[in-house]
């Protein structure tokens, strides 16, 4: 996964707990 995508998702972690689980998986 590109760093840019991860960075953008990181900014949305607080708004999307599901994304945090997907990134941690």
Please write the tens of the pLDDT for every residue from 1-25. Answer: 556 666 666 666 556 777 777 777 7
Encoding tokens for residue 3?
Answer: 């760093």
Tell me if 12 sits within 8 A of 19, measured CB to CB.
yes
Rounded-to-10 torsion of CA 23, 25, 18, 13: -30
DSSP at 25: -
pTM above 0.75, yes or no: no
Encoding tokens for residue 4?
Answer: 């840019």
pLDDT of residue 5: 65
pLDDT of residue 18: 75
Residue linked to tokens 């996964």? 1
pLDDT of residue 22: 78
pLDDT of residue 7: 64
Residue linked to tokens 């945090």? 20
């Amino acid at each position: 996964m590109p760093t840019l995508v991860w960075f953008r998702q990181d900014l949305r972690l607080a708004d999307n707990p599901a994304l945090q689980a997907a990134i941690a998986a």
